Amino acid sequence: MSHSFDDISTQLRRRHRRSSRLKWISMGALGIAGLFLVLFFADMLAKGLPAFQQAQIQVEVDYNEDAQRMGRAALDPEVSRLVSRTFERLIPVRMRDNPELLGTTETRWVLADSEVDQYLKGHRHKLSESQQATVEALVQQDRVELKFNTTFFTSGDSKMPEAAGILSAAVGTVMTLLVTLAIAFPIGVMTAVYLEEFAPDNRLTQIIEININNLAAIPSILFGLLGLAIFINFFGVPRSTPLVGGMTLALMTLPVIIIATRTALRSVPDTIRHAAFGVGCSRWQVVRDHVLPLAMPGIMTGSIIGLAQAMGETAPLIIIGMVAFIPDAGSSFTQAATVLPAQIFTWAGEPEQAFVEKTAGGILVLLAILIFLNATAVVLRKKFERRW
Amino acid sequence: MQTNQLLAMFSGVLLLMGLIAFFLGRAKAARVRASGTAMYAQPDQYAWFAVVATAGPAITVGAIGAFLMLLLGAEIPTLYLLACSLVVAAIGLMVGMRQVKPDFHARQAIERVIRWILVAAAMISIFTTFGILFSIIFEALRFFQMHSFWDFITGTVWDPGASFLAAAGRGDEGGSAAQFGSVPLFAGTFMITAIAMLVAIPVGLLSAVYMAEFAPSRVRTFAKPTLEVLAGIPTVVYGFFAAITVAPIIVDVAGFFGLDASFNNAVAPGVVMGIMIIPFISSLSDDVISAVPDSMRQGSLALGMTKGETIRDVVIPAALPGIISASLLAVSRALGETMIVVMAAGMRPNLTANPLEDMTTVTVRIVAALTGDLEFESAETLSAFALGLVLFAVTLSLNLVSVLMIRRFREKYRVNNL
Amino acid sequence: MSRHESSRPEPGQPVTRNNNAHHELSIRVRDLNLWYGQTQALKNLNIDIYQKNITALIGPSGCGKSTFLRCLNRMNDLIPSVRLEGLVEMDGRDVNAAKMDEVALRRRVGMVFQKPNPFPKSIYDNVVYAPRMHDLVSRKPEQDELVEKALRDAGLWEEVKDKLHQPGTSLSGGQQQRLCIARAIAVQPDVILMDEPTSALDPISTATIEDLMDKLKQQFTIITVTHNMQQAARVADYTAFFHLGEIIEYNDTRTMFANPATKKAEDYITGRYG
């Protein structure tokens, strides 16, 4: 009845093959997932890095009579089509502000039209044959160059790709996140403190807990509906503003902060609490003076991660109108504003080819900030990690 | 005067009164203590109690007034309301000062207040859920007053058409009547979700199997956070990736096989969504597989099973509740995902089984209905809330089932960290 | 003492032989050493295990008896830091040889664990799973027959015959352990290793399992680790006493308990320590 090792081994050969096949397939799956990640970043870098360079062109500006009405008249007609219209529009304004300019000329580097930029980068463009020839000639004379794109960081949105930048969106993001943090952090920490340190284990507490887990899994767009129906239509918070955006995102961030804070509070050992109770502290004093300070690194880590999540959120903000065209950085929480992801969304919908790289450039900036935030969170956790 | 100027003045005065309360309270308490009387609490605690007594009732009165104005439409002039609160604050200040006496438990009083503040904070998350629920239900009901619920659930044509004209009182100019049959939207949503799951479940689950069962621990500590990067990428970025990079590839590949694919095909957003969801499945599955007790594996190996057979026939079945739970969460996530489909899927409600055609989803129509300059009262705008209601109901039930499954797993193996 | 010195046995053989038992060799262990990282857990073990007998391994906690048991079906392979030297021979083959397939070895050397660990499957599938994978049975009637036989041999059939398709985890602890035994004997191994099979069970279940072991030794070689001295005395034909990773004494059970050759074994058996 018993089988010899050799008999069994023969039968096993097939089964061993199948077993190692599972190993290779599962390894391959992980590899595929990793490959997706690599391809994704490679694609974004390839598309987005050119956005940090922008074609500039050296032109003679002749501040003549005609230029007071129409900026284009100040430029050599052959080159004028290659120059960004934002610059042409600026000429009459400059001449009005500085009347002494009239009759003078100057040579300066100005933004080239986005088509020139796209042509130089070898992308799809709309330059005619003769314009291409002109650009080539200018390149020979070193009068057209790709330079670092400061405009991208110093200006707001524009309908002209060469003049579009992320400044107003970045400012909007900062303001929105300030509101988010101001609301979500205190409420989140207080909720967690209540649930972990004060709450009796009753039905209400359980409902709150289930509810928090649930909130974390509700589609973000529904938070947008809430913001629209409650904050905007009911409470009359102005639409499209960092205030309403921040409030909406705060509700989304709340569960993340609560869950992180609870974990942090739970990791503070009970011996600390007992010691503090033992010297006559009240429950609140124990929490305020002993537990919270020890849990702070964990709370900060969770809050940063929550903020990073809120920062990338777009769908609810679209619903509450934060996709407006905002050329100038806002200065008030009740002024219409946009945020980085919403700016990316807007640009992605622009038909011009030049906006593709702007979009990808904006994405790179957003990803860089997110990576920075998450890395900070990781470092913070590593640095303050404590084994009790 | 403007409302916000009034508010600023009100806050200023209240702050001032708070400061006064603090210093007066402390001074009085210190005086009493200096006179040699033993007190129940520290002077600072009395001071804080005075502040709470001053500001608390005043703010409450102000908030109640504001709510009355908003909810019941009661016409209370803001000036009177704020003035009234300040009077309350003054009364509170006086009462608070009178309470500064040796036999008063100021600390306990403050801590009771703190406790109530904490409870109030905890209630906000409940209010959020109810806020979502009520805002959606309320507006959805208004929609269902205009269009029948039955048509909404069973209709196969989604054509809001000129419903915005009807809202503007020019309904007769709009031509054909608007139709709100949500079936094509749900068909599109499920199609894209199904494609996403076809990508995410095999890749995610197998990655989890590799990480939990085969990978050396160094690989695992590196691979898990790396995969989670995929979940941290903002969805708007995925949307761009799907629309600009993946969709043309799908069109080219389909063209290579002689198939005609739309640039807004369902495959591109589906695949990209699947990539996004991989870590949701892999992370949770990895945790669950690692939580399967080792005695199970040893029992199987000791019977002369190979490692692969052990994983397939013993470990995976044991981890199944957790894996299903992870997958349900992932489905819920995919159903509610918005940006990827808004940017990469179509706008046209299209009832088809061909994933290469363009089709639209529930979330796309919600966004479409609420952007643009539509009148809020129009049926199309309100239809967004009806769609949102269904989305809420579906995702909520998926989440709850998922929580129940993972709880069952946890109880079965007494694992606490899931 | 002089009695043993006069006929000094080969290393590993019991000092005296139980004349009622079979004496065919099942497993031969020579100079077995094992390290967990830097710590040596087994030192120079020599032991012969005889077929169709019950051999009990006793000794204080941490003496290496479970580790030794796991050498016999190479379950220690699962622990990365383990290093092993010496010979474990079965059927004339070194089980640790590179050519030896540990899966094939485990197919012939079954194991029952300290805590019952039924698979998350039905009672029926728990038993039939391994034989089916090993191609011992294929058709449904064969499977039914095998399940019934294994469960009968494990003394569980009468209790579960009406609920074969309920999950194995729905049984009581003692039943689960017998299910695990049924699962082990269903693949027809030569040897069954039992790692404190009754330590997690109540006295009645323990008695049932002990009776069962006595029946099973008609068909299988059983090696059992036990903490329970009375159990070893009740069921085992041979007993090996382990201490600090060494085999201090190996003898037939009756001699070992009535007249231990070494002081340490005597102290342990009489309950001075352990």
Chain B CB within 8 Å of residue C110 CB: yes
Q: What is the DSSP string of A78-116?
A: HHHTTB-HHHHHHHHHHHHH-GGGTT-EEEEEEEBPHHH
Top-ranked range on mean pLDDT: pick from A72-81, B107-116, B135-144:
B135-144
Residue B414 is predicted with a pLDDT of 62
Residue of C nearest to B299 (CA): C117
Chain C CB within 8 Å of residue A17 CB: no
Separation CA A84–CA A163 (nearest Å): 8
pLDDT at B150 over 60: yes
- Strand residue runs (E) in chain C: 25-36, 39-50, 54-58, 82-90, 93-94, 109-112, 191-195, 221-225, 238-243, 246-252
Separation CA C256–CA A364 (nearest Å): 77
Say whether both B106 and B43 belong to one domain.
yes
CB distance A5–C104 less than 8 Å?
A: yes
Chain C CB within 8 Å of residue A107 CB: no
Residue B418 belongs to a domain = no
Say whether both A260 and A366 belong to one domain.
yes
Out of B235, B244, B306, closest to residue A16 by CB: B306
Residue A4 belongs to a domain = no
Shortest alpha-carbon distance between residue A43 and chain B (Å): 8
DSSP-assigned letter for residue C154: T
Kindly list the residues from chain B whose CB atom is less than 8 angstroms away from the CB atom of residue C111: 298, 302
Residue B1 is predicted with a pLDDT of 47
Out of B295, B304, B318, closest to residue C106 by CB: B304
Q: How many CB pairs under 8 A join A and B?
A: 266
Residue B153 belongs to a domain = no
Q: What does the pLDDT average to over A229-235?
A: 86
Residue B312 belongs to a domain = yes
Separation CA A375–CA A369 (nearest Å): 10
CB distance C113–B303 less than 8 Å?
A: no
Residue B174 is predicted with a pLDDT of 44
Residue C203 belongs to a domain = yes
Chain A CB within 8 Å of residue B397 CB: no
ipTM of this predicted complex? Answer: 0.91
Return the higher-pLDDT residue of B373 and A365.
A365
pLDDT at B155 over 70: yes
Out of A30, A254, A359, closest to residue B125 by CB: A254
From A97, A118, A149, the end of a domain falls on A149
Q: What is the CATH number of the domain that holds A258?
A: 1.10.3720.10
Say whether both B190 and B247 belong to one domain.
yes
CB distance A312–B236 less than 8 Å?
A: yes
CB distance C133–B298 less than 8 Å?
A: no
Domains: count for chain C = 1
Q: Which chains form contacts with chain A, at 3 or more CB pairs under 8 Å?
A: B, C
Residue B159 belongs to a domain = no
Residue C274 belongs to a domain = no
Residue A157 belongs to a domain = no
Kindly report the pTM of this predicted structure.
Answer: 0.86
Question: What residues make up the domain containing B90?
Answer: 3-143
Pairing state between β C246-252 and C82-90 = unpaired
Residue of A nearest to B371 (CA): A319
Q: Are C69 and C247 in contact (CB under 8 A)?
A: no
Contacts of the segment A179-183: beta carbons below 8 A, 24+ positions apart: A179/A242, A179/A243, A179/A245, A179/A246, A179/A247, A179/A249, A179/A250, A179/A333, A180/A246, A180/A247, A180/A249, A180/A250, A180/A253, A180/A307, A180/A310, A181/A250, A181/A303, A181/A307, A182/A246, A182/A250, A183/A246, A183/A247, A183/A250
Separation CA A173–CA A363 (nearest Å): 14
Residue of B nearest to C74 (CA): B302
Chain A CB within 8 Å of residue B404 CB: no
What is the dihedral sign for C-alpha C128, C134, C137, C139?
Answer: positive
The answer for C 46-105 residues in CB contact with B (under 8 A) is 73, 75, 78, 103-105
Residue B64 is predicted with a pLDDT of 81
CB distance A32–B335 less than 8 Å?
A: no
A155-159, B107-111, B205-209: the lowest-pLDDT one = B107-111
Residue C272, number of CB atoms within 10 A of its CB: 10
Residue C30 is predicted with a pLDDT of 93
Separation CA A83–CA A144 (nearest Å): 11
Chain B CB within 8 Å of residue C17 CB: no
Residue B272 is predicted with a pLDDT of 96
Residue of B nearest to C120 (CA): B318
Out of C105, C135, C188, closest to residue A1 by CB: C188
A58-67, A313-322, C76-85: the lowest-pLDDT one = A58-67
Q: What does the pLDDT average to over A120-133?
A: 87
Residue C3 is predicted with a pLDDT of 41
Q: Are C176 and C126 in contact (CB under 8 A)?
A: no
Residue of C nearest to B214 (CA): C78
From A123, A149, A175, the end of a domain falls on A149
What tokens does B54 get? 């001053």
CB distance C130–B314 less than 8 Å?
A: no
Which band of pLDDT confidence, cut at 50, 70 and 90, is reported for residue B111?
Answer: confident
Residue C25 belongs to a domain = yes
Residue B155 belongs to a domain = no
Out of B125, B234, B312, closest to residue A191 by CB: B125
Which band of pLDDT confidence, cut at 50, 70 and 90, is reported for residue B393?
Answer: very high
Residue B375 is predicted with a pLDDT of 66
Residue C9 is predicted with a pLDDT of 56
CB distance C101–A4 less than 8 Å?
A: no
CB distance A33–B204 less than 8 Å?
A: yes
Kindly list the residues from chain A whose CB atom is less than 8 angstroms away from the CB atom of residue C104: 5, 8-9, 12
CB distance B122–A255 less than 8 Å?
A: no
Which band of pLDDT confidence, cut at 50, 70 and 90, is reported for residue A383?
Answer: confident
Shortest alpha-carbon distance between residue A126 and chain B (Å): 20
CB distance A11–C133 less than 8 Å?
A: no
Separation CA A380–CA C250 (nearest Å): 59
Separation CA B404–CA B218 (nearest Å): 33
- Letter for the amino acid at B308? G
CB distance C108–A9 less than 8 Å?
A: no
- Which of B214, B301, B303, B314 is the best residue to mutate to test the C interface, defined by the most C CB atoms within 10 Å of its own CB? B303
Say whether both B118 and B226 belong to one domain.
no
What's the whole-number average pLDDT of chain A?
A: 89
C27 forms beta bridges with: C49, C90
- Which of C73, C81, C119, C127 is the best residue to mutate to test the B interface, defined by the most B CB atoms within 10 Å of its own CB? C119
Shortest alpha-carbon distance between residue A84 and chain B (Å): 26
Digit-by-digit pLDDT tens for chain C (274 residues) are: 444 444 455 677 777 655 555 578 889 999 999 999 999 999 999 999 999 999 999 998 888 999 999 999 999 988 889 999 999 999 888 999 888 888 999 999 999 999 999 998 999 999 999 999 988 888 999 999 999 999 998 989 999 999 999 999 889 999 999 999 999 999 999 999 999 999 888 898 899 999 999 999 999 999 999 988 889 999 999 999 999 999 999 999 999 998 888 888 888 888 876 5
Residue A130 belongs to a domain = yes
Say whether both A132 and A185 belong to one domain.
no
Q: How many CB pairs under 8 A join A and C?
A: 33
Chain A CB within 8 Å of residue B273 CB: no
Separation CA B170–CA B382 (nearest Å): 18
Chain C CB within 8 Å of residue B293 CB: yes
Chain C CB within 8 Å of residue A18 CB: no
Residues in chain C: 274
Q: Are A223 and B125 in contact (CB under 8 A)?
A: no
Residue C22 is predicted with a pLDDT of 54
Residue A129 belongs to a domain = yes
Q: What is the CATH number of the domain that holds C234?
A: 3.40.50.300
Residue A143 belongs to a domain = yes
Which band of pLDDT confidence, cut at 50, 70 and 90, is reported for residue A256?
Answer: very high
Location of structure tokens 């194991």: C111
pLDDT at A210 over 80: yes
Q: Are A241 and A334 in contact (CB under 8 A)?
A: yes
Residue B157 belongs to a domain = no
Say whether both B258 and B364 belong to one domain.
yes
Domains: count for chain B = 2
Give the Å distances, CA to CA, from A173 to A51, A183, A239: 20, 15, 16
Separation CA A350–CA A298 (nearest Å): 42
Which band of pLDDT confidence, cut at 50, 70 and 90, is reported for residue B44?
Answer: confident
Separation CA B240–CA A350 (nearest Å): 12
Residue A5 belongs to a domain = no
Pick from C105, C183, C193, C111: nearest CA to C151: C183
Say whether both A190 and A313 belong to one domain.
yes
Question: What residues make up the domain containing C150?
Answer: 2-269
Kindly list the residues from chain A whose CB atom is less than 8 angstroms away from the CB atom of residue C92: none
Share of chain B above pLDDT 90, in %: 39
Kindly list the residues from chain A whose CB atom is less than 8 angstroms away from the CB atom of residue C26: none
Shortest alpha-carbon distance between residue B207 and chain C (Å): 21
Question: What residues make up the domain containing A76?
Answer: 50-149
Q: Note the pLDDT tens digit of each residue in B288-309.
A: 999 999 999 999 999 999 999 9
Separation CA B56–CA C106 (nearest Å): 74
Q: Note the pLDDT tens digit of each residue in B375-388.
A: 667 888 888 999 99
Q: What does the pLDDT average to over B215-232?
A: 89
Q: What is the CATH number of the domain that holds B225?
A: 1.10.3720.10
Q: What does the pLDDT average to over B169-173?
A: 48
Out of B302, B306, B313, closest to residue C75 by CB: B302
Which band of pLDDT confidence, cut at 50, 70 and 90, is reported for residue A314?
Answer: very high
How far, rounded to the nearest angstrom, does the alpha carbon of residue B23 sit from its chain's CA centroid? 44
pLDDT at B205 over 80: yes
Residue A154 belongs to a domain = no
Say whether both A182 and A60 belong to one domain.
no
**Segment (H or E) for B60:** helix B43-67
Kindly list the residues from chain A whose CB atom is less than 8 angstroms away from the CB atom of residue B119: 194
Residue A16 is predicted with a pLDDT of 92
Say whether both A315 and A236 belong to one domain.
yes
- Which of C88, C108, C218 is the best residue to mutate to test the A interface, defined by the most A CB atoms within 10 Å of its own CB? C108
Chain A CB within 8 Å of residue B343 CB: yes
Q: Are B124 and A254 in contact (CB under 8 A)?
A: yes
Say whether both B255 and B368 belong to one domain.
yes
Say whether both B300 and B376 belong to one domain.
yes
CB distance A12–C104 less than 8 Å?
A: yes
Residue A136 belongs to a domain = yes
Q: What does the pLDDT average to over B90-116?
A: 79
Domains: count for chain A = 2
CB distance C93–A5 less than 8 Å?
A: yes
Q: Are B233 and B327 in contact (CB under 8 A)?
A: no
What's the whole-number average pLDDT of chain B?
A: 84
Say whether both A236 and A114 belong to one domain.
no
- Which of B237, B280, B335, B362 is the best residue to mutate to test the A interface, defined by the most A CB atoms within 10 Å of its own CB? B237
How far, rounded to the nearest angstrom, does the alpha carbon of residue A159 sit from its chain's CA centroid? 21
Buried b (16+ CB within 10 A) or exposed e, A191-218: bbbbbbbbbeeeeeeeebbebbebbebb
Q: Note the pLDDT tens digit of each residue in B70-98.
A: 666 666 677 777 777 778 888 887 787 77
What tokens does A72 get? 């284009």
